[in-house]
Structure 1
Amino acid sequence: MKTFKKIILVIIVIAFASCVDVVDVEVQNGPTRLVVEASLDWEKGTAGNQQTIRLSESTPFFNTGTITEVTGASVVVTNDTSGDVFVFADQGNGEYLSTTFEPVLAQSYTLRIEHNGDVYTATETMTPVTNITDIFQNREEGFNDEELEVHIVFTDPEEEGNNYLFRFQREGDLLPGLEVGEDRFLNGNEIDWWYEIEEDEDEHIDPFQPGDILHIEMYGISRPYYDYIKILVEQLGGTGLFESTPVTVRGNCINETHPENYAYGYFRLTQVVKASYTFVEE
């Protein structure tokens, strides 16, 4: 009787297996677009004259192995007040380099890119940033009071409307942590900004440990860029129950020739302060 049941079970499994069809789903790809990485970041204490703009083309969603670099484009940045033009020379690898750029705080600049018969433009203002006055570690402010967090202390300028981008990169980690902040409720005050890495065993992510070296960057950013990067940072968390749904985020690069063929990316001009911190035993 047991043998008979086994034979019936095998027949049922084979029957269901034979009913499975392989369905090939053709995924539609959107139009290929220019991708602009034009972050002109002026580190405090440096001349800021050497700047790089990167151009590439968008790739299909499931094609994650290749990046199509754009060469042969014309890339210039103009000081909108003085009219000074800074040419970014094609390096033949998707990068365009200028060694003569002159950053001026609160100055407006315009980016112009000519590629494949289209002209792309974007305008942005060089935004200043305050200084970091202290960095220390603690276990009190984070989501887990047993784990280490880092604290960055700075004084927000008295004028309203200051916005910040923070970049945290632990040595050995593949990706940095990004956070954005504004002075809407803290204008003119001393700010203690803390950052913690939560443990994730599935993703093999460990919290901070004594001996870890953390590289910190704090950028002063414009309000339009704050609105743009805030959406991107929120989408880095995926599409869980309480995360935002990924959407196409339009940057500030406009296609003057064919407006419907807009570019991805953003032309930003920021001042940045950088620091490093090594966690210690407590």
Structure 2
Amino acid sequence: MKTKYIFALFTLLAITVSCTDVVDVEVPEGPTRLTIEASLDWERGTSGNTQTILLSTSTPFFNDEKFVPATGAIVRVTNTDNGTEFVFDDQNNGRYTTSDFIPIIGNTYSLEIQYEGERYTATETLYPVSEITEITQSTEDGEDDEALEVNVSFLDPADIENYYFLRMQRREDLFPELFYIKDEFIDGNEFTIYYEKIDDEEDNSEEFKPGDIVDISFMGISKQYHDYLRLLIEQYESAGEPFSPPPVPLIGNCINEDNPDNTPYGYFRVTEKITDTYTFQ
């Protein structure tokens, strides 16, 4: 009886293995597009002369090489208020750099890229950032009244429409926490943003603890960049939810002047920013 049982088991395994087919699933791939990472961030207290623009091409989702540099482009930024032109030199690795950029609050800058016979353009205005008035820690404002949180406070100027971008990241974390802010309901007042971490094994997230260091970047941005960030963050935060819409490529402010069907990815921004750090006690 025992021998028959073993024979039957091997027979079942043989049938199972013999019926296994390899199914190749073809994943559709979109056209290769230019990706523009042009963030000209002027850190307060510095000259802001040294700036870098990253150019790459989009890659298939399952491609092992995630960054494919776009080389051989001609890249320039022009201050449209005074006509000053800044040429970004090709470093042959996707990086285009200049050491001559001059940031001026309130001035408008235009980006022009010539790449593989097509011309890409974008325009942004450099807005000021409000002063950070205080950075503190507490356990009062978050979801968990025992978890540490960092609080960043700033004073919004009255009677001026302002938009802000706040980026906070614990040094050992892979991803930052991003906040887009408009002063519609805080005009002329001091406002505080808190950042809290909750223990979550699924997300591999741990609460803040004494000694943790958080890097903080606070920027003044345009309304159009605020709206772009809102869509970007909303799409990122809803990813993986059962009823969330499928993610779609977000179109920034960069335009292909010669071939509108070949729209680039990415964004051209010009900002004034403040950077700081906070160490939990």
For 1:124, the equivalent position in structure 2 comes to 124
- Look up the equivalent residue of 1:232 and give its one-letter code: L
Question: How many residue pairs are counted as aligned between the two chains?
Answer: 280
Does the 8 Å CA contact 1:161/1:223 hold for their aligned counterparts?
no
For 2:106, the equivalent position in structure 1 comes to 106
- Look up the equivalent residue of 2:115 and give its one-letter code: H
Alignment of 1:157-236 (within 5 A): 157-236=157-236
1:9-45 Cα deviation digits (max 9, x unpaired):
5433432332221111122211111110000001111
**CA distance, structure 1, for counterparts of residue 169 and residue 207 of structure 2:** 13
Pair 119,105 (structure 1): closer, same or farther in 2 beyond 3 Å: same
Normalising by structure 1, we get a TM-score of 0.93
The answer for unaligned runs of 5 or more in structure 1 is: none
**CA distance, structure 2, for counterparts of residue 177 and residue 279 of structure 1:** 17
**CA distance, structure 1, for counterparts of residue 213 and residue 44 of structure 2:** 21
**More deviation, 7-16/219-228:** 7-16
1:37-61 Cα deviation digits (max 9, x unpaired):
0000011111111111111111111
For 2:51, the equivalent position in structure 1 comes to 51
**CA distance, structure 2, for counterparts of residue 213 and residue 89 of structure 1:** 35
- Look up the equivalent residue of 1:270 and give its one-letter code: T
Q: Quote the offset at 1:2 in angstroms.
A: 6.3
Question: Superposition RMSD on alpha carbons, in Å?
Answer: 1.7
For 1:278, the equivalent position in structure 2 comes to 279
For 2:249, the equivalent position in structure 1 comes to 248
Pair 64,146 (structure 1): closer, same or farther in 2 beyond 3 Å: farther
Q: Quote the offset at 1:86 in angstroms.
A: 0.7
For 1:42, the equivalent position in structure 2 comes to 42
Pair 65,243 (structure 1): closer, same or farther in 2 beyond 3 Å: same
Q: Quote the offset at 1:220 in angstroms.
A: 1.0
1:63-109 Cα deviation digits (max 9, x unpaired):
14342111111100111111111111112211111111111112111
**CA distance, structure 2, for counterparts of residue 113 and residue 166 of structure 1:** 28
Does the 8 Å CA contact 1:251/1:266 hold for their aligned counterparts?
yes
1:200-240 Cα deviation digits (max 9, x unpaired):
22343211100011110111111111111122222333221
Q: Percent identity of the aligned residues?
A: 49
- Look up the equivalent residue of 2:280 and give its one-letter code: F
Does the 8 Å CA contact 1:234/1:244 hold for their aligned counterparts?
no
- Look up the equivalent residue of 1:96 and give its one-letter code: Y
**More deviation, 116-125/245-254:** 245-254
- Look up the equivalent residue of 1:221 and give its one-letter code: I
Normalising by structure 2, we get a TM-score of 0.94
**CA distance, structure 1, for counterparts of residue 16 and residue 36 of structure 2:** 51
**CA distance, structure 2, for counterparts of residue 244 and residue 163 of structure 1:** 27
Does the 8 Å CA contact 1:71/1:93 hold for their aligned counterparts?
yes
SS in 2 for 1:229: helix
Does the 8 Å CA contact 1:161/1:183 hold for their aligned counterparts?
yes
- Look up the equivalent residue of 1:36 and give its one-letter code: I
Pair 178,190 (structure 1): closer, same or farther in 2 beyond 3 Å: same
SS in 2 for 1:227: helix
**CA distance, structure 2, for counterparts of residue 18 and residue 187 of structure 1:** 71
SS in 2 for 1:236: helix
**More deviation, 176-185/39-48:** 176-185
For 2:142, the equivalent position in structure 1 comes to 142
**CA distance, structure 2, for counterparts of residue 28 and residue 137 of structure 1:** 48
The answer for unaligned runs of 5 or more in structure 2 is: none
SS in 2 for 1:208: coil
1:140-175 Cα deviation digits (max 9, x unpaired):
111111210000011112134321111112122222
SS in 2 for 1:228: helix
**CA distance, structure 1, for counterparts of residue 177 and residue 217 of structure 2:** 11
- Look up the equivalent residue of 2:279 and give its one-letter code: T
Pair 243,26 (structure 1): closer, same or farther in 2 beyond 3 Å: closer
For 2:155, the equivalent position in structure 1 comes to 155
